[in-house]
Amino acid sequence: MALETTLPEGAPDEVVTHALVRDVDLNAFGFPGTLALITLDNGEDHNRPNTFGVKSLLELDAAITEASSRKPAAIAVTGKPFIFAAGADLSALSFLAKREQGVAIAKLGHDVLRRLGECDIPTFAFINGLALGGGLEVGLHCTYRTLASTAFTGLPEVFLGLVPGWGGATLLPQLIGPERAVQVIMLNALNNNTMMKAKDALALGVTDAVFEPADFLERSVTFAASILSGATTIERNDYSQDPSWEKAIATGKAAALKKYGGAEIEAPKRALELIAQAQKATRSSGFDAEDQALADLVMSESLRSSLYAFNLIQKKRKKVEGAPKSSLARKVTKVGVVGAGLMASQLALLMVRNLKCPVVMTDLDQERVDKGVAWVHTELAKLVEKRRMSQESAHRLTALVTGSVDKKVFASADFVIEAIFEELSLKQLLFKELEEIVTSECVLATNTSSLSVEAMTQGLKNPERVVGFHFFNPVAIMPLLEVARTSTTDDVTAATAIAVGKELKKTMVITKDAPGFVVNRLLTRFMGEITDAMDEGTPADVADNAMRSIGFPMSPFELLGLVGPGVALHVAETLHKNLGPRYRISPTMQRMVKEGVRTFYIKGDDGKFAPNPAAVALIEQGGNPSTGEQVRNRALSALAQEARMMLDEGVVSTPAEIDICMLLGAGWPMVLGGILPYLDREGISESVTGQRFHPKGVASLA
């Protein structure tokens, strides 16, 4: 158990999770004897999960010793109200300087937790709430597990650039089999860190019983007593001879390659190796392999990057940089949506689901209005079918969404957002019309992706009430919301917009009203370099695959098919007009839009995607081709140049805000950390701009 408990220099202090022991008399539950119950509690408010750092593990170790000394019939572990444990305390990992420290932390976790699986009496995990990573691994070491019906659980390590390194990669495949283990460890993690609901965990065999939270502890103790008395037995399968091991590993490998655009990322690779070894591994050999994998990954560049990105996302979810005082925000009791197309309909659905207030939509004619309202109503009905919403709630929300062709229905609205065609003159006319209808306190928002918000306010009596409110498609899934303030947007308007964004559960970044804001400005510059290289004569597949090795889930031309050439061209033209010739207009894109060709790739009869002949025929035939490496360096250099300009112009106030925008709005890979730390590490920042964006050490071993 010997381990240096002093945290690395600069690391934040560990919030210690205490382990408290008490006896539970089992006689009242039909079994003579006692159960020693260990309760995990970090003593913080209920919103902070229990976590395990070095000191917390040592406290749990001491609690297991104390519990064993009481000679109970069984030992059980549970958590504080509504929270079991959220796993390892990751706050100090990026401060580790030596691989040996990583080995020591991995080994300590194994040495402590394996005591729960190697006792001479049964052990139970009463998982009463959130259990992630090391929290779930506590349960996996126990002989039996119960789970609250409201609890979420999972192993998110691969998502963060780690592996389940305190027993999970060995014990879970042996408990539920290789295919299900790959689902939990790999597929769920790579699918934006999907967690298991209680019913899923029960179906997969991760837990033995699920109970409602109201009497969870009492029923879990009853379950334990029935196990001890022999009234209940749990059968365990031996998966060592299961024929599906190779297939399961192949499935995991394919999922990782798809997620990272063909790039081989270390964490998924190491996780699959551990799962494969679990077929024949003993606890000791499996745990030793986990120790080594965890230590290697802890010292890797990708983990430092992932932790930077993860911590940044958590921070920005809680605090919006530069936001006015929240007390200035006005209450929003009715929302207006101008437009009833797909984007507007998505906005209406998001608003009614989260604000739960009346939402009224308008459009040019009744047919369009009816179509938009019907779409929202249908989506609410689908949520009921998927059991994500009760019938009663759906009925109530459905009644709140209405439509009209008369904008006078906005007279009592507190917040109106437009999602009409991206034409400045149309938006200017719209806002003038709205100003004559709405109250003096109503906020007017625009979902424009590239136009000047300030230009939309020209001629208005109250331009201070207008704000940019840029969502990303699909609205319900994409977490980023760019809030653009003009030179006249007042604090009350900004505070109200921020309050609405929080209700919508979006991560917000306040930007200056500048062309393209953050994400579209950088993406358009990046995409422009790729299409320019192609127009100059670089083969389309070479240009499109130049960034594959980095780990993007989607190539530039695949993204173009999702966004649509028309939208991409419109944004490029807007930025070309406002920011200059570095935003070049691609003749290939112009031809694609003119000919109505929407994508570079089409699905063949074999189900695989291949270049679209119609698009290939429209490619500009230049005579100056580049290599893939040249295209990659060109695109990354353009990103560095543009990001420096944006910071100098005050589009956002910090490099971290550019990082969060690209992570959440453009799908910048977590394993690369923020875009700017990556450009720093690659030496591109200094070679292009003469300086780094971040100090050395941010998301880096440097």
Q: Token pair for residue 208?
A: 């033995």
Handedness of CA 528, 192, 158, 643 (dihedral sign): positive
Q: Token pair for residue 376?
A: 């929202």
Q: Is 503 tagged catalytic?
A: no
Answer for the pair 634, 529: CB distance below 8 angstroms, yes or no. Answer: yes
* Nearest residue to 87 via CA among 66, 119, 57, 44: 57
* Residue 201, amino acid: A
For residue 403, what are the β-bridge partners? 361
H or E stretch at 178: helix 178-182
Strand 443-446 relative to strand 466-471: parallel, antiparallel, unpaired? parallel
Q: Token pair for residue 175?
A: 């408990």
Q: How far is CA 225 from CA 28, 33, 159, 485, in A?
A: 10, 10, 38, 62
Query: Of the listed 4, 14, 100, 137, which one is catalytic?
Result: 137
Q: What is the per-residue burial (b if ≥16 Cβ within 10 Å, else e) of 492-527?
A: bbbbbbbbbbbebebbbbbbbbbbbbbbbbbbbbbb
Whole-number Å distance between alpha carbons of 312 and 159: 15
For residue 340, what are the β-bridge partners? none
Cis peptide bond prior to 463, omega within 30° of 0 = no
Whole-number Å distance between alpha carbons of 413 and 335: 5
Strand 209-211 relative to strand 196-197: parallel, antiparallel, unpaired? unpaired
Tell me which residue has tokens 């694609």.
592
* C-beta atoms surrounding 473 within 10 Å: 14
Query: Of the listed 4, 44, 59, 157, which one is catalytic?
Result: 157
| DSSP state, residue 209 | E
Q: Token pair for residue 181?
A: 């283990």
Whole-number Å distance between alpha carbons of 61 and 36: 14
Write out the DSSP string of 247-308. Answer: HHHHHHHHHHHHHTTT---HHHHHHHHHHHHTTT--HHHHHHHHHHHHHHHHTSHHHHHHHH
Q: Is 66 tagged catalytic?
A: no
**Which residues are identified as catalytic?**
137, 157
